[in-house]
A and B are shown apart, each in its own frame.
Chain A
Amino acid sequence: MTLKELHPGQSARIDEIDARQPGVVRLMVLGLIEGAEVQFENSAIGGDPMEVTVHGAAISIRKQQADCFRISPIGSNV
């Protein structure tokens, strides 16, 4: 499962990142790295880009890049 498939309000832990895809490194610098806990907060109309938070900091991420983050969901679905 990748970050792209998360539902609004759901949290997940990042397991693996395909850092070679364009635009992914920038997101890693902002704190989306392996082991980090992320929460999908909101999106723009149409679901893209997504707003995720890591350690309370909100980051905008496009679905194309979100697909490069393999995750495991935490807790129950909201």
Chain B
Amino acid sequence: MSEVGTTYVPIDKIRIRRRPTASVAVIGNPNSGKSTLFNRLTGLRQTTGNYPGVTVEKHSGTVQLSESALELVDLPGIYCLGGFSSDERIAIDVLLGRVEGTPGPDGLLIVLDATHLYQGLYLMQQLMEIQLPMVVAMTMSDVATASGIDISIEVLQRHVGGIPIYPVVATTGRGLDALKEALEGIADTPAPAIPESWPELSSTADQLVGSTEGVLSRIDIIHALIHPDGQRAEMLAKHLGHQAVDKVRRELFADEPPQACEARHRYSWVNNVLEEAQRKAPAIDRVGASSLRWLNRPWPATILFFAVMALVFQAVFSWATPMMDAIDTGASLLSNQVSDMLPAGAVSSFITDGVIAGVGSVLIFLPQILILFLFIILLEDSGFLARAAFLMDRIMRTVGLSGQSVIPMLSSFACAVPAIMATRVIPNRRDRIATILAAPFMTCSARLPVYALLIAAFVPDRSVGWLNLQGLVLLGLYLLGIVGGLTTAWILKRSALRGPKPQFALALPEFRLPNLQTVLIKLMERARIFLKRAGTVIFLVAILVWGLAYFPRSAEIQTDLKTAVMQAESTMSGDQLLAEVNELENTAAAEQLAQSYLGRSGRFIEPVFAPLGWDWRVSAAVIAGFPAREVVVAVMGTIYAVGDEADEASLTEKLRSASWPDGRPIFTVPMVLGLLLFYAWCLQCAATIATIRRETNSWRWPVFAWAYMTTIGYVGALLIYQLGSLV
């Protein structure tokens, strides 16, 4: 060490950040504790990206070892390298180095759950065929011991070709040092011997390697044979001819599905291994397990599910309110500060009504989204979500979907954007798209302010039996969304997305306490993705709507305003003056909006919406709401000259007295009900459209969803208004 420095740091406190020298893929079954181990090894040195062309997130991080560092790539939890879901397809492609921009790994870290060796060894066997250096981390060995499972690591190691196996407890960090030591030299370890579970397949693959001139490797050929509809199968057919490949397949699989034959061979190997390596004592019931068992019975489990969901919604809406109010207040305080500092004009308006309001309208969603995400992650990691899918499968089947569509639909009650991203677990593309198109119908948090305003203004506050009429209408709107979404899925599954019934084979994990670090890392990541995906769109939309409502600016109105204010100042004083000036300013703002691009388009489009009973002001507000429905209340506030931050009471009053030129009221009961239905069904959210585009990888579905939802919203509102006005 140099002697120049004045402070000395003890040598063991110096942390050297090494650059990773090799890349290791972390792979294992779902719920095997893989994420917890990955987080434990990499800490917060993680990055998240995307694999090109697919919507599977790419997690990677660096693990610092004593001599070097490794890049760890966390692959999705899977049961086999089968290609049932996009997760499985991406896993095999990454492992074989077939993903653009992601070189193949130098080694594998396999996470094997000691309590589920049966399914774990199945995947491990497939991974051994890839012929990469491997290290196994055996998680949950403490749980296994506690439940009477005795595993001989030596025997197991012998059966898996000598791959080093390290028991770890990821939550406490036990065993991690030994594991890290083993990872240090992983790139130079020889690949394990291939297990002799299916000699015929092995020898066939070995023979075929020669005949494809080295274009396809042994593992490529095995995959090509077992998965006849994959890319590798095509390449194999190109080299050997379709007939030859078919003949090989017939010899190997007879007329059974190849993966069924594979399962038989591989599980018989797994059974042999387990017979020697694992001894099971008579099952010792863990404390409390049997007393909780009744909760899994059909009715208690279903009731518990609804109770938990009620609690989640309660939390999402009631816990978030104070935070949302604080954000709202903060944004308007900041706006006032800025407008006091800057001279009135386009710049000031841009910063306050454009930028600050835009950022505010993104942040306002964060509390609800974070609370919802927190619950979903907790439910997911505790094993509850898989149970929910199991319990709800029957109901979802009636509309042609499966239990796996339940979770995205539930998330959609807060926001459709994360809901659409959550459809990735649905293996079948048709079912996934049907779910994606149903999700935006659910009443999201952005619809609530509009519902609240119109209901408070036009639905009488009286009781019907022991229920409140306003509450009933709100409940009705929620149901309207659910019915709209499910009917849409039902129609689509019988028309454009017709196909075989969705399959539902799901592993049901045991209830487990979620790991805090894993939950927090996941929460941060989902919040970041939401801000990046939805936040940018919502912000840009807010700026755009501001521009449309601000320009062109009439100088005349501003001059008239100045004159009127001066006049008022000379005749009035005190509170009276303040009220008068406020009134004058609001009227001027309304006049400005009336002749802005937004106001003009409202007038232009008025004939289209006139059959629904809307005047140009409602039309303009609806147009402003198309890219983001939550701006509607603010636009209505400005357009009815009560200011964009008016309290609801004064806006309500204005809406009630708004009338057509001939004096008829605009907001009649049929018109309001139609408007509410329009809001319930219409896809007024650019962030959702962008997300559908991303997740379906085409413009076809977002365009369809927009046109379809707008049409039924319009037709529904038209019918209600026209029929209602007859009565």
Contacts and interface: CB of A to CB of B under 8 A. Distances in A.
Interface of A: 17, 19-20, 22-31, 33-36, 41-49, 51, 54-62, 65
Contacts of A23: 503-505
A44 B503 contact: no
Contacts of A22: 500-501, 503
Interface residues of B, number: 45
A54 B115 CA distance: 12
A48 B395 CA distance: 10
Interface string B89-124: 000000000000000000000000001111100100
Contact of B118 (A19, A20, A47, A55): A55
Given A45-B302, A59-B506, A31 B390 contact: no
B494 to A, nearest CB: 18
A25 B389 CA distance: 20
Given A45-B391, A62-B504, A56 B115 contact: yes
A60 B505 contact: yes
Nearest to A44: B391
Max count, chain B CB within 10 A of own CB: residue among A19, A34, A35, A61: A19
A34 B299 CA distance: 32
Interface in B221-264: 255-257, 259-260, 263-264
Contact of A29 (B80, B274, B298): B80
Interface in B187-246: none
B264 A34 contact: yes
B390 A49 contact: yes
Contact of A25 (B257, B267, B297, B504): B257
A58 B297 contact: no
B424 to A, nearest CB: 17
A30 B79 contact: yes
Closest 7 CB pairs of A and B: A19-B260, A55-B118, A23-B503, A28-B263, A58-B508, A26-B505, A60-B506
A31 B118 contact: yes
A25 B263 contact: yes
Contacts of B403: 49, 60
Contacts of B146: none
Contacts, number: 117
Given A25-B263, A58-B507, A60-B403, 18 more contacts: A19-B256, A20-B255, A22-B500, A23-B503, A26-B505, A27-B505, A34-B264, A35-B271, A44-B301, A44-B392, A49-B393, A49-B394, A54-B118, A55-B116, A57-B116, A57-B507, A58-B508, A58-B510
Nearest to B82: A29
A73 B255 CA distance: 29
A51 B117 CA distance: 19
A70 B500 CA distance: 23
B500 A42 contact: no
Given A42-B296, A45-B299, A28 B500 contact: no
B115 A44 contact: no
Nearest to A42: B296
A35 B118 CA distance: 14
Contacts of B80: 29
Contacts of B394: 44-46, 48-49
A56 B82 contact: no
Contacts of A30: 79, 119, 505, 507
